Amino acid sequence: MTLFDVYPLNDITITKAQGSYVWDENGVQYLDLYGGHAVISIGHTHPHWVKRIEDQLEKIAFYSNSVHIPIQQELADKLGKVSGKEEYQLFLVNSGAEANENALKLASFHTGKKKIVAFNKAFHGRTSLAVAATDNKNIVAPVNETGNIDFLPFNDEAALKEYFQTNGDKVAAVIVEAIQGVGGINVASESFLQLIRRLCDANDALFIADEVQCGYGRSGKFFALDHAGVNADIYTMAKGMGNGFPVGGILIAPYIKPKHGMLGTTFGGNQLACAAALGVLEVIERDNLIEMTKQRGMYLINKLKSIDGIDNVRGKGLMIGFDVPEDLKDLRKKLLHDYFIFTGEAKPNVIRLLPALNITRKQVDEFLDTLNEAVAEMKAVVAHAE
Ligand code: PMP
């Protein structure tokens, strides 16, 4: 049997990983500033996380949600403490798309309305509602076109106000990434997020913060929306929540009352996933990783801004993007193949950095030195050719 061939691959086989490093099958070491697409939060194969999973595996890996599962409450308590959202309710799922799917469905159940507002360049996942709210025509199948999703320009307050003037009463939810990830690291302005909050309040619509990529400490606060000083009605999470173990969740405000059977999942909240998620939170709390992320992020962003040749450095914490001009268009490939550094791509001309939250200062400096060298080398080649 062959694999369904849908992923454009780097021609690399990774067989081992630890902290911010991964190794290929020949033992070549790579510095990882991509984290398998923002998934690695506390570093690959973190010993505390491994132990948490191993200990749980010996007790019980799975029993269905038809019985009490105390480790779910343990996770909810820890998540409430670390995120500061103690009053919210936790519903556990397996992925980011599933989190958004349930959040959107719940908003429609709760409000009795159908319209969803999403934004240009948004990415919310590949299940039916999540993909319909994603601004990429290539991944929306005809069956996903519900006609219920309206896309508005990101960060455009006038357009949002105008839309709500005529359609506000029909809106069930606004779904937004406080920092767009796949769309190219676009930071929502605080006033834009505050306006969404006000318009949702005035129109009985729910504010859904998709924190699948920008959340869980990555922006230097637990949720990226926290920077704007407003709360969402529903937060969705996945990726960094499990550090590589598939687990996602949604935080639901206390005034949203689920009915039995409204949401459900077989695997969501299984004991093993909860142990992995607890392992992550314990390390985030113990090692003060959110504050560390903020500091490291400021350092990295400032240093990147001083590199001549890359443009428009942006982001918050350790969710950083920059534009690569045409003469450096192969920079990401060069970093990977010549310098053994993984970075992410958003568009061909945007490099995304999503390192582990506990990447060391030394590793950040190693990256910056290498980036400087690679940029200088590529510019010299271009200058020579001219
Ligand atoms: N929301 C955002 C903001 C994402 O970046 C992603 C994944 N790139 C998703 C949702 C979907 O997550 P998953 O792949 O776990 O379904």
pLDDT in tens, 180-231: 999 999 999 999 999 999 999 999 999 999 999 999 999 999 999 999 999 9
C-beta of 72 in contact with ligand 1 (< 6 A): no
* Distance separating alpha carbons of residues 191 and 381, to the nearest angstrom: 44
Tokens of 74: 């343990």
Q: What is the dihedral of CA 163, 166, 169, 172, to 10 degrees?
A: -30
Atom 13 of ligand 1: nearest residue by CA position: 96
* Whether 208 and 335 share a structural domain: no
What sign has the CA pseudo-torsion 134, 137, 142, 145?
positive
C-beta of 123 in contact with ligand 1 (< 6 A): yes
* Whether 174 and 307 share a structural domain: no
CATH code, domain with 69: 3.40.640.10
* Whether 308 and 266 share a structural domain: no
How many A from CA of 199 to the centre of ligand 1? 26
Last residue in a domain, options 231, 255, 286:
286
Atom 12 of ligand 1: nearest residue by CA position: 96
CATH code, domain with 306: 3.90.1150.10
Count CB-CB contacts under 10 A for residue 166.
8
Percentage of the residues of the chain whose pLDDT score is greater than 70: 100
Last residue in a domain, options 251, 268, 286:
286
- Does residue 144 lie in a domain region? yes
Last residue in a domain, options 231, 257, 286:
286
Quote the ipTM score: 0.99
Q: Which residues contact 1 (CB under 8 A, 6 or more apart)?
A: none
* Distance separating alpha carbons of residues 320 and 332, to the nearest angstrom: 14
Residue of 102, 136, 235, 239 with the most ligand 1 atoms within 8 Å of its CB, for mutation = 239
Number of folded domains in the chain? 2
- Point out the residues of the chain with pLDDT beneath 70: none
C-beta of 96 in contact with ligand 1 (< 6 A): yes
CA distances from 212 to 28, 35, 150, 238, 247 (A): 31, 14, 21, 5, 11
C-beta of 279 in contact with ligand 1 (< 6 A): no
How many A from CA of 213 to the centre of ligand 1? 7
pLDDT in tens, 300-351: 999 999 999 999 999 999 999 999 999 999 999 999 999 999 999 888 899 9
pLDDT at 290: 98
pLDDT at 286: 98
User: What does the longest C-alpha to C-alpha distance in the chain come to?
Assistant: 70
Give the structural domain span for 180.
Answer: 47-286
First to last CA, the chain: 49
* Whether 281 and 305 share a structural domain: no
